[in-house]
Amino acid sequence: MRLYGVAHGLDSGVFKYAPALALFYALFALLPFSIAASIQYALIAIAFIDGSIRIDRLVREKLFPQRPAGYLPLFLTALVCVVHLHRELHLGNMNMLLLWVLVIALERLLNGNRTIGAMLIGIAILAKPHFVVLLPLLVLFGKYRELGISIGVVVLGIVLPSLFLGPATNLEVHKAWFSAMAEHNSSLIYTGGDDYRSVNTIYSFLHRSVGKYFLEPTSVEAYTILGGIVLVFGAFLLWLKSRTSSLPSLFAIGYFLILALVPSITLTDTEHFLLSMPLVAYLIHHLVPIARPRWLPLLGIPILLTYGGNWEDALGPFAAELIHFGVLGIGNVFLILICGWLYARSNQTTQIASKAR
Tens digits of residue pLDDT in 75-91: 999 999 999 999 899 88
Instruction: Encode the chain in three state secondary structure.
Output: CHHHHCCCCCCCCCCCCCHHHHHHHHHHHHCCHHHHHHHHHHHHHHHHHHHHHHHHHHHHHHHCCCCCCCHHHHHHHHHHHHHHHHHHHHHCCCHHHHHHHHHHHHHHHHHCCHHHHHHHHHHHHHHCHHHHHHHHHHHHCCCHHHHHHHHHHHHHHHHCCHHHHCHHHHHHHHHHHHHHHHHHCCCCCCCCCCCCCCCCCHHHHHHHHCHHHCCCCCHHHHHHHHHHHHHHHHHHHHHHHHHCCCHHHHHHHHHHHHHHHHHHHCCCCHHHHHHHHHHHHHHHHHHCCCCCCCCHHHHHHHHHHHHHCCCHHHHCHHHHHHHHCCHHHHHHHHHHHHHHHHHHHHHHHHHHHHHHC
Tens digits of residue pLDDT in 159-207: 888 888 888 888 888 888 777 676 655 577 787 777 777 888 898 888 8
With beta carbons less than 8 A apart as the criterion, state whether 126 and 21 touch: yes
User: What is the predicted pLDDT for the residue at 325?
Assistant: 86
Q: Is residue 4 part of a domain?
A: no
Q: Is residue 51 part of a domain?
A: no
**Which residues have a Cβ under 8 Å from the Cβ of 231 and sit 6 or more positions away?**
none
Higher pLDDT, 350 or 150: 150
User: What is the predicted pLDDT for the residue at 354?
Assistant: 46
User: What is the predicted pLDDT for the residue at 284?
Assistant: 97
Confidence of residue 266 (pLDDT cuts 50, 70, 90): confident
- Average pLDDT of the residues in 299-320: 85
With beta carbons less than 8 A apart as the criterion, state whether 189 and 203 touch: yes
User: What is the predicted pLDDT for the residue at 243?
Assistant: 83
List b or e across 128-156, with b for residues whose CB sees 16 or more CB atoms inside 10 angstroms: bbbbebbbbbbeebebeebbebbbebbee
With beta carbons less than 8 A apart as the criterion, state whether 8 and 28 touch: no
Confidence of residue 11 (pLDDT cuts 50, 70, 90): low
Average pLDDT over the chain reads: 87
Weakest mean pLDDT among 10-14, 106-110, 116-120, 321-325: 10-14
Expressed in angstroms, the distance from the first to the final Cα of the chain is 65
User: What is the predicted pLDDT for the residue at 184?
Assistant: 58
CA distance 335 to 283: 8
User: What is the predicted pLDDT for the residue at 5?
Assistant: 58
User: What is the predicted pLDDT for the residue at 356?
Assistant: 43
- Average pLDDT of the residues in 249-273: 92
Q: Is residue 266 part of a domain?
A: yes
User: What is the predicted pLDDT for the residue at 357?
Assistant: 46
Amino acid sitting at position 160: L
User: What is the predicted pLDDT for the residue at 185?
Assistant: 58
| Total tally of structural domains belonging to the chain | 1
Q: Is residue 284 part of a domain?
A: yes
Confidence of residue 247 (pLDDT cuts 50, 70, 90): confident
Percent of the chain with pLDDT over 70: 90
Percent of the chain with pLDDT over 90: 50
Q: Is residue 122 part of a domain?
A: no
- Average pLDDT of the residues in 150-161: 92
Tell me: cis bond preceding 289? Omega within 30 of 0 counts: yes
Confidence of residue 7 (pLDDT cuts 50, 70, 90): low
Q: Is residue 213 part of a domain?
A: yes
Residue 249 belongs to domain spanning: 186-352
Return the closest-CA partner of residue 196 out of 6, 333, 9, 10: 10
Return the closest-CA partner of residue 226 out of 203, 209, 207: 203
Tens digits of residue pLDDT in 96-130: 999 999 999 999 999 888 999 999 999 999 988 89
Cβ atoms < 10 Å from Cβ of 341: 10
- Average pLDDT of the residues in 27-46: 90
CA distance 357 to 71: 33
Q: Is residue 86 part of a domain?
A: no
Tens digits of residue pLDDT in 43-59: 999 999 999 999 999 99
- Exposed/middle/buried for residue 193 (C-beta within 10 Å: 0-12, 13-18, 19+): exposed
Confidence of residue 28 (pLDDT cuts 50, 70, 90): confident
Confidence of residue 350 (pLDDT cuts 50, 70, 90): low
CA distance 154 to 150: 6
Tell me: cis bond preceding 293? Omega within 30 of 0 counts: yes
Is residue 12 pLDDT above 80, yes or no? Answer: no
Q: Is residue 238 part of a domain?
A: yes
Higher pLDDT, 145 or 24: 145
Tens digits of residue pLDDT in 228-244: 999 999 999 999 988 88
- Average pLDDT of the residues in 219-229: 88
